[in-house]
């Protein structure tokens, strides 16, 4: 599922297709290219199954191949949503599809075009090394007649998959980090159903031809975390969790329990804690009010127990968080320093870091900065060597703006959660 650029409606169409086929009784699995936490939440709801990530830089090509193969063993349809425009990035979605052996359904926003529609599709198919575009779907068409006009422009080697009409009631709301989390869109299910209805009588309702693609063997895991319980924060403030990370920890032998630093008065009995990313900046008053949780986390760290804090999770570990409106809120105070939100992007990109535990890959995406006297124990750097993120340590607390992808190095991930 690809497009000429971001904002063309890939997520909308992918979710609509997933729901359309799922409600026909088919087993649907959706994957998302890139280090995205938000689109996968939409697709999980639409398909009824977890949405995993594919990214050769962060996850690796073998990781993508075995996950696709596992899905193919049980699914009737696999949808892979691309990232940005079809030829944007390195490797871009066209190359990912080529290396994985996947055909491409191209989504084009047709709202402001007619005769150029086919030219765009032809150009994207034949640009550079070429792209295996087999079908195209027009998004945001103005009428049935408009859809017929753009359909007629397609070259003979690209099939028509149908169209979605322009419908403001189906638009997916956004904020500074992208789409709103699925749990915050009250009528999300109804929006997805409405979009699926619009595709019900189009060629997109039919299963595409089966394809063969290269596979890689599934990884094996040593039970390095056997007998260990990891408490994982999961609520509206801590909602950026890769399903693959949770699966990796479980495969390493860990018992996972979930808790809410926003609402819970008691932290679960555990050997280690994981504070993933999310939106602490939207929940400052609630986090500041939960001093019982702050005390429990402090006791956990001072007892020498491991705690991993990523991005939003790290933000809550400092003493205070200052919002863009000037308000300030006390955080958990596990680390000295202050976090300040800003309206411009502060960090974005793929990262890798060398820790004592081993090499880990991941990414960063945030709108805040930190002020702390702590000296970083390591740096997470981009492949270009320009820019990166500090990694801090206090006892067995590991904190960074970097979001780790645990399956890239399960042994190193396990070591983060061991005393």
- Catalytic residue, from 239, 248, 270, 311: name it: 311
379 and 390 Cβ atoms separated by less than 8 Å: yes
- Which strands make up the sheet holding 77-81, listed edge to edge? 52-54, 28-33, 77-81
68 and 213 Cβ atoms separated by less than 8 Å: yes
54 and 32 Cβ atoms separated by less than 8 Å: yes
Q: Over 62-112, what HEC string results?
A: HHHHHHHHHHHCCCCEEEEECCCCCCCECCEHHHHHHHHCCCEEEEEECCC
Instruction: Tell me how far apart the alpha carbons of residues 378 and 356 are, in angstroms, rounded to a whole number.
Output: 9
310: its two tokens: 């990523």
Is 311 part of the annotated catalytic residue set?
A: yes
8: its two tokens: 């063309």
Mention every residue, 6+ apart, whose C-beta is less than 8 A from residue 82.
1, 2, 3, 10, 33, 93, 96, 97
Positions marked catalytic: 311
């Amino acid at each position: 599922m690809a497009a000429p650029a971001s904002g063309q409606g890939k997520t909308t169409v992918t979710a609509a297709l997933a729901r359309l086929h799922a409600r026909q009784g088919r087993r649907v699995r959706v994957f998302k290219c890139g280090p995205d936490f938000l689109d996968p939440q939409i697709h999980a709801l639409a398909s009824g199954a977890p949405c995993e990530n594919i990214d050769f830089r962060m996850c690796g090509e073998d990781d993508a191949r075995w996950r696709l193969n596992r899905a193919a063993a049980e699914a009737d349809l696999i949808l892979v949503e691309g990232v940005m425009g079809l030829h944007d990035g390195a490797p871009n979605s066209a190359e990912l599809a080529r290396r994985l052996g996947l055909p491409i359904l191209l989504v084009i926003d047709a709202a402001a075009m007619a005769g150029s529609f086919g030219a765009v599709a032809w150009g994207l198919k034949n640009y550079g090394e070429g792209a295996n575009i087999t079908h195209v779907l027009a998004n945001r068409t103005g009428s049935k007649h408009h859809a017929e006009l753009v359909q007629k422009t397609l070259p003979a080697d690209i099939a028509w998959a149908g169209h979605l009409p322009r419908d403001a009631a189906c638009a997916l709301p956004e904020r500074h980090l992208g789409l709103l989390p699925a749990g915050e869109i009250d009528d999300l299910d109804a929006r997805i159903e409405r979009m699926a209805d619009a595709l019900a009588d189009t060629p997109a309702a039919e299963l595409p031809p089966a394809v063969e693609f290269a596979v890689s063997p599934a990884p094996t895991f040593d039970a390095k975390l056997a007998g260990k319980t990891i408490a994982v924060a999961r609520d509206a403030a801590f909602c950026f969790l890769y399903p693959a990370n949770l699966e990796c920890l479980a495969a390493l032998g860990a018992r996972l329990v979930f808790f809410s630093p926003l609402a819970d008065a008691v932290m679960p009995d555990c050997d280690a804690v994981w504070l993933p990313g999310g939106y602490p900046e939207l929940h400052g008053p609630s986090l500041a009010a939960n001093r019982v949780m702050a005390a429990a986390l402090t006791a956990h760290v001072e007892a020498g127990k491991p705690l991993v804090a990523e991005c939003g999770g790290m933000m809550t570990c400092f003493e205070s968080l200052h919002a863009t409106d000037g308000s300030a809120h006390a955080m958990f105070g596990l680390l000295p320093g202050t976090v300040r939100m800003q309206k411009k992007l502060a960090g974005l990109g793929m990262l890798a870091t060398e820790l004592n535990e081993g090499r880990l890959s991941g990414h960063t995406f945030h709108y805040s900065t930190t002020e702390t006297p702590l000296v970083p124990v390591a740096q997470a750097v981009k492949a270009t060597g320009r820019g990166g993120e500090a990694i801090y340590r206090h006892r067995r607390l590991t904190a960074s703006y970097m979001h780790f992808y645990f399956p890239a190095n399960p042994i190193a991930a396990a070591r983060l959660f061991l005393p």
